[in-house]
Amino acid sequence: MAEVNMVQAINMALAHEMARDADVVVLGEDVGANGGVFRATVELQKRFGAGRVLDTPLAEALIAGVSVGMAAQGLKPVAEIQFTGFIYPALDQIVNHASRLRHRTRGRLSCPMVLRSPYGAGIHAPEHHSESPEAMFAHIPGVRVVIPSSPLRAYGLLLAAIRDPDPVIFLEPTRLYRLFKQEVPDDGEAQPLDACFVVREGKDVTLASWGASLHETQLAADALAQEGIRAEVIDVATLKMLDMDTILESVGRTGRCVIVHEAPGCAGFGAEISAQLAERGLLNLLAPLQRVTGYDVVTPLSRLEQAFIPSVKRIVDAVHRVMEFA
Amino acid sequence: MAEVNMVQAINMALAHEMARDADVVVLGEDVGANGGVFRATVELQKRFGAGRVLDTPLAEALIAGVSVGMAAQGLKPVAEIQFTGFIYPALDQIVNHASRLRHRTRGRLSCPMVLRSPYGAGIHAPEHHSESPEAMFAHIPGVRVVIPSSPLRAYGLLLAAIRDPDPVIFLEPTRLYRLFKQEVPDDGEAQPLDACFVVREGKDVTLASWGASLHETQLAADALAQEGIRAEVIDVATLKMLDMDTILESVGRTGRCVIVHEAPGCAGFGAEISAQLAERGLLNLLAPLQRVTGYDVVTPLSRLEQAFIPSVKRIVDAVHRVMEFA
Amino acid sequence: MTVVASFEIEYLQFLDQLGRVSQPLPGFARDPRALVPLYRAMVLARTFDTKAVALQRTGQIGTYASSLGQEAVGVGTVGALRPEDVFLPSYRESGGLLLRGVTMEEMLLYWGGDERGSDFRVPRQDFPICVPVGSQASHAAGVAYAFMLRRQARVAVCMLGDGATSKGDFYEAINFAGVRALPAVFVVCNNEWAISVPRALQSAAKTLAQKAIAAGIQGVQVDGNDVIAVRFAVERALDQARDGGGPSLIEALTYRLGDHTTADDSSRYRDAEEVKQRWAHEPIGRLRNHLVEQGAWGKNEEEALHAECTERVQKAVDAYLAVPQPPPEAMFDYLFAQLPRPLQPQRTAAAQESGHG
Amino acid sequence: MTVVASFEIEYLQFLDQLGRVSQPLPGFARDPRALVPLYRAMVLARTFDTKAVALQRTGQIGTYASSLGQEAVGVGTVGALRPEDVFLPSYRESGGLLLRGVTMEEMLLYWGGDERGSDFRVPRQDFPICVPVGSQASHAAGVAYAFMLRRQARVAVCMLGDGATSKGDFYEAINFAGVRALPAVFVVCNNEWAISVPRALQSAAKTLAQKAIAAGIQGVQVDGNDVIAVRFAVERALDQARDGGGPSLIEALTYRLGDHTTADDSSRYRDAEEVKQRWAHEPIGRLRNHLVEQGAWGKNEEEALHAECTERVQKAVDAYLAVPQPPPEAMFDYLFAQLPRPLQPQRTAAAQESGHG
Ligand SMILES: Cc1ncc(C[n+]2csc(CCOP(=O)(O)OP(=O)(O)O)c2C)c(N)n1
Ligand SMILES: Cc1ncc(C[n+]2csc(CCOP(=O)(O)OP(=O)(O)O)c2C)c(N)n1
Ligand SMILES: [Mg+2]
Ligand SMILES: [Mg+2]
């Protein structure tokens, strides 16, 4: 089995599900002949036809709204928003329609759609191409928010997202698209949409992260191991539904938690995890909680993006701070 | 001096600032002859002319984008989005332009605009008229988010928002619009945009809230006082910039904190306050933090909205829970 | 000067303001008896609207948007639909909804603040009422795309107001429908007002029908107080769409005789005189004149119809008032196909809270 | 059938594909020497674009969007502007930006990932490059509104692509500009592609100029490879706008001869043969033919111009490369007029982190 990177894994999942289920439709800007600006939909139009893999006009609100209409008819649209920097016009359709079509019709209609979008900084992209808006989506009742951190995860979670009967926002960290490869069997096995993944076990401190930041978090755990600090690393992956049980259980053992994400800290999703720990796990805490996040500034252009992205050093420093408490 | 309700106080602030500063312009749907569907802009068009008080076509993205253009030319647009349920199409302009025009041009251009919008449940309004999206705005770097809780606060904070050289999202709780009156001198005195207000002092527990929920929070404090529990009540008011110093100082004294807001809890703004307390105030905590919030569901239609809005009873119960820790 | 493109906007009317035939009637309208169901539907709508406003005034439902004066647009439109088509209404369509099979009880539940009102027992695939103005236009495009992909001879029919045509949503949807030649019909109910904003402040376009030109699709303007014209234009557009001929935009000229909603007081921004004049154009009297003139309608029928409508409406009101409140935990139902685990404690708490409350 | 509205779209061209005069030249173009500055501007743009692509290939700037083949649209448009007007460009406008007074060093800084590149020293009130497609259209309307309110004889000029016309933003802005008769000009640079999506998939409208009809404003189509036609149409629209005659939409027909950006490989989705054919229409050779034919340009001038452009570009590159990196804490600067207190510790941390990093 050949190793594939995350974009290829996403492409595999899309192809797998399109072959298996004739209701799956892929739409977006440049998803057809071009195969997506990141190549995530490459060859799909050739294989499944221009009816099921369609280039839309340049209009993000439209892409989301058309997906709602398709989904209400039982299609399973997988829409691509080319970058999350351009996803905001689609928000109205997500908040006011996709997330509540089932709810407001008491189950008469539903909205089984996936909105895929590349996100995050670190690839020297132009302005507006590097933001991390996951917290906004996680605040919307009625949608799921999923972020893969590896090719394997991307394949299994995307399958699950497409099969899920409700809307899923699927955010793909561009920085990971081609960062590393894994063997990904094309076995059609979905991964759960409501579970954190413990990707490294440890007993001294819990590090919770997702998406591209998981990468630096794991590097930090490596560095800490050198000093004898054994970090447990959790890939939160399905921000919504958030699997607090796994996090609480881990922090219950370690007594310390550092949450790492690239989005600005203020009202970021890390706050939700902190808040739940402070509500439900406070008595187990041996040290203040820490968040290591992007600063509360506009994501800078490429010259400064590395200074914006939470670094291994910042994560290690935060762990050192929490380890000071005995 | 006559007493005025919150809508009238808002109208007073708008009129005051329009009279003082010829650059202030009011725009939105039905803000002209109709004076706003809640009457917040009543008489302004008559007084200041149809050039400075203009009805726009029905298009929220346009309203925000036009405001950005006006502001770049040094006008001070105060735009009304009729209900926050319809604000989402405007988000693109807020995130991608208003919030960063100064930043991305290194101060060459700037965006002194205010986006006013009625929000929240509790007035038996139709579908899509009752949401509380403040957390989404608070996550955006480069904007301020302000929520008044009384006529006095509305007057002073709106003046400050209009005078502020950067974009301000000003969310007005419809439930408070006519709930009570206060004497509001039309003295042009602005209130600070980066300070919490301690509206009741107490030493047993800190209750932090904003907007309409502050009302139930104060009623809860009354009820608790009957049992001898002295609650300190903080009106967070300027969610962004968040004045954590005041909250930390209070919780430092009380050791307990319950945060109350109407928006769904998951990734709501209460999480940010909890998270900061867990980072910077953990050692003072005598009990787990608690959030009393709207449930993580679509805001229900009017028959169930009272069951959605955090009740006095839920707040009191939460305080009882934290008081159990000695 | 070279001209590279030229366009015309057609206007259609069969019955003039007084109900006189102003041009040869289309086939379906030649037998006046065939028009009686449309007449009955309009009267039922008006009876229902009147009652709903009264219910709001007495606190028995919430804010309500009456279609007073515009009945011909909804009724004419839906009169042309087939059951298998999908209708995507705005919030001011009682006539159209009733004709689709939505019950008055459901409508009262909805406006009374109960989600069960959108669980239509009959047009199962129709969209619920759309409140965010214009946002249903792209749903119509998506529904139509599904029809096309599955080679179903069905059409998605979207109704929206003059104000809605100012939304990017509307434009993006008709533009996409044009590109893909989708089986979709967009009916703009131009009642001259969007709350307090008059038509002239929505657009400098002379007609709203000409917005179709921007999308490269058919656009036509009809007298929206002439139910025959509305029905004819919609049927023609449906036929075209069903045959793969692509989408259309129909502007129906009418007038909102009432307030925007029960929360509105239109005397603040418009002249009573204007409203009075526009009563002379309203659609029900116009069709009645025609029917009477054709010998297909009389005093007895009229009285019987009013009695019947009043009774049907009252029955629906009684049924509505008898519907028990939903329990608080109902707000968790149908949020997802299955309630996710993290939400279960919240649901339990909501249920318990009400127990105490 | 009654026709209630009819429309025509005009097409303008003065120089044909070979540079021959195809209809009497407008006043400003009669003296060929007056056209030389436009020619020089187009050649400078192409020289700069070529260099910028090369800099991206060698990792010295980030992704870059070249205007190769479209130079006449930006140059013709900006050639008609007055300094006090406000220009709202898209990201593919090197020619237009240069003519506005934006320096090449600033442009390289921007594409090199440095916000200082948008702090134009000269057109202080122009908007920076707009990346979210079409979102600058409403800014143009807002700027124009400010001009109108203050009775300034200035015009807001917005440039956007064929793809951008599919965005609701574009439509909402031209529609509002129409309602208020704003002094705004919208120039659609139709280069037939939006990345890989061909013009035909953006809209079924025969022309993009006819989108103006939906807004009730002037719309005209011009040969966008004929800088005279572009400049003439824009000047006419500016005059009209300045005189209170309201906004216009100009569709300039051109072709994107290069890849969408340096991150794109257009061979994946379009025929090399098509591109080859379109080279015959490109604007620079066309104007040169005309100038040479009129005796206003020759081999010496051409050589000198290329040498001069190359040197100017190289100087700008050198200056750009000499600009020191901004310190990390610069990301906190200009976020607000004054850095709010809660952000100060973050700024300090960012500065310290870099000290260690
Ligand atoms: C997107 C959006 N913005 C604002 C509103 C508030 N609002 C409700 S109805 C209305 C006017 C709609 O006018 P029109 O489209 O002409 O329909 P009509 O009410 O006349 O039937 C407005 C502004 C809304 N519901 N949706
Ligand atoms: C709102 C938005 N959606 C998507 C993108 C990604 N994108 C960048 S350029 C482009 C195509 C734009 O085409 P067009 O408007 O014709 O301009 P051109 O690039 O041809 O000059 C797309 C889809 C974007 N920048 N903004
Ligand atoms: Mg209307
Ligand atoms: Mg293009």
Of B66, B31, B68, nearest to B50 (Cα)?
B31
Distance CA D329, CA A304 (A): 9
pLDDT at D357: 40
Mutation choice for ligand 1 from B31, B55, B62, B82, CB with most ligand atoms inside 8 A: B82
Could you give all domains of chain B from N- to C-terminal order, each with its CATH number? Answer: 2-184 (3.40.50.970), 197-323 (3.40.50.920)
Of B25, A224, A113, C289, nearest to D142 (Cα)?
B25
- Cβ within 8 Å, pair C143-A52: no
Of D11, D50, D15, nearest to D281 (Cα)?
D15
The angle formed by the CA atoms of residues D353, A273 and B285, to the nearest 5 degrees, is 85
Taking only the tens place, the pLDDT of each residue in C256-279 is 999 999 999 999 999 999 999 999
Contact D69 CB / ligand 2 (< 6 Å): no
**Is A186 within 8 Å of chain D by CB?**
no
Catalytic residues of C: 256, 260, 269
Q: Which CATH architecture has domain D10-326?
A: 3-Layer(aba) Sandwich (3.40)
- List the single best residue of D7, D174, D222 to mutate versus C (max C Cβ within 10 A): D7
Q: Which ligand is nearest to the CA of D65?
A: 2
* Domain residue extents for chain D: 10-326, 328-357
| DSSP helix/strand/coil, C15 | strand
Averaged over C46-54, what is the pLDDT? 98
Confidence category of residue C355, pLDDT binned at 50, 70, 90: low
- Cβ within 8 Å, pair A124-D62: yes
Strand order in the sheet with B114-119: B53-55, B24-28, B76-80, B114-119, B168-173, B144-146, B238-240
D132 Cα to chain A: minimum distance (Å): 6
Closest CB from D197, D325, D350 relative to A295: D350
C-alpha D163 – ligand 2 centre gap (Å): 6
Taking only the tens place, the pLDDT of each residue in C92-120 is 999 999 999 999 999 999 999 999 999 99
Taking only the tens place, the pLDDT of each residue in B258-293 is 999 999 999 999 999 999 999 999 999 999 999 999
pLDDT at D356: 45
pLDDT at D354: 73
Per the DSSP assignment, residues forming a β-bridge with A209 are A235, A260
B291 Cα to chain D: minimum distance (Å): 23
Taking only the tens place, the pLDDT of each residue in D186-195 is 999 999 999 9
Contact A88 CB / ligand 2 (< 6 Å): no
Confidence category of residue B215, pLDDT binned at 50, 70, 90: very high
Please count the helices (runs of H) and the strands (runs of E) in chain C: 13, 8
Contact C120 CB / ligand 1 (< 6 Å): no
pLDDT at B326: 76
- List the single best residue of B291, B304, B314 to mutate versus C (max C Cβ within 10 A): B304
Alpha helices in chain D, H assignment, sequence order = 27-30, 36-57, 71-79, 94-100, 104-111, 137-149, 168-179, 199-202, 211-215, 227-242, 272-279, 283-293, 299-322, 344-356
Residues making up chain A, counted from first to last? 326
pLDDT at C18 over 50: yes
- The pairing of strands D156-161 and D184-190 is parallel
Of B81, B66, B112, nearest to D184 (Cα)?
B66
Distance CA C148, CA C134 (A): 22
Q: Tell me the backbone φ, ψ of residue C221, rounded to 5 degrees.
A: -110, 135
Alpha helices in A194-243, H assignment, sequence order = 213-226
Confidence category of residue D261, pLDDT binned at 50, 70, 90: very high
The catalytic position among A16, A129, A215, A261 is A129
C136 close to C188: Cβ distance less than 8 angstroms: no
pLDDT at A326: 76
Confidence category of residue D1, pLDDT binned at 50, 70, 90: confident
- Three-state secondary structure along chain B? CCEECHHHHHHHHHHHHHHHCCCEEEEECCCCCCCCCCCCCCCHHHHHHHHHEEECCCCHHHHHHHHHHHHHCCCEEEEECCCHHHCHHHHHHHHHCHHHHHHHCCCCCCCCCEEEEEECCCCCCCCCCCCCCHHHHHCCCCCEEECCCCHHHHHHHHHHHHHCCCCEEEEEEHHHCCCCCEECCCCCCCCCCCCCEEEECCCCEEEEECCCHHHHHHHHHHHHHHCCCCEEEEECCEEECCCHHHHHHHHHHHCCEEEEEEEECCCCHHHHHHHHHHHHCHHHCCCCCEEEEECCCCCCCHHHHHHHCCCHHHHHHHHHHHHCCC
pLDDT at C26 over 90: yes
pLDDT at C218 over 70: yes
What residues in chain A have per-residue pLDDT under 50? none
Mutation choice for ligand 1 from B62, B81, B86, B127, CB with most ligand atoms inside 8 A: B86
Averaged over C65-69, what is the pLDDT? 98
pLDDT at C351 over 80: yes
- Cβ within 8 Å, pair C353-B301: no
pLDDT at A266: 98
Taking only the tens place, the pLDDT of each residue in B57-72 is 999 999 999 999 999 9
For residue A40, give the DSSP letter: T
D200 Cα to chain C: minimum distance (Å): 7
Q: Which residues contact D343 (CB under 8 A, 6 or more apart)?
A: A295, A296, A297, B241, D332, D335
**Is A86 within 8 Å of chain D by CB?**
yes
Q: What's the mean per-residue pLDDT of chain C? A: 97
- Cβ within 8 Å, pair C115-A106: yes
Token output for B326? 């000695």
pLDDT at C211 over 50: yes
Contact C132 CB / ligand 1 (< 6 Å): yes
Whether this model's pTM surpasses 0.95 = yes
- List the single best residue of D331, D333, D334 to mutate versus A (max A Cβ within 10 A): D331
A vs D: CB pairs below 8 A:
115
**Is D138 within 8 Å of chain C by CB?**
no
The catalytic position among B16, B103, B124, B129 is B129
Distance CA A269, CA A289 (A): 14
pLDDT at D355: 62
- Write out chain B residues lying below 8 Å of C346, CB-based: 295-297
- Write out chain C residues lying below 8 Å of D184, CB-based: none
- Write out chain B residues lying below 8 Å of C163, CB-based: 57-58
Token output for C256? 């909102």
Residues making up chain C, counted from first to last? 357
Residues making up chain D, counted from first to last? 357
| DSSP helix/strand/coil, A207 | strand
C173 Cα to chain D: minimum distance (Å): 9
pLDDT at C357 over 80: no
Of C76, B102, A17, nearest to D127 (Cα)?
B102
pLDDT at D286 over 90: yes
Closest CB from C62, C110, C331 relative to B295: C331
Contact C164 CB / ligand 1 (< 6 Å): yes
**Is C24 within 8 Å of chain D by CB?**
no
Taking only the tens place, the pLDDT of each residue in B6-55 is 999 999 999 999 999 999 999 999 999 999 999 999 999 999 999 999 99
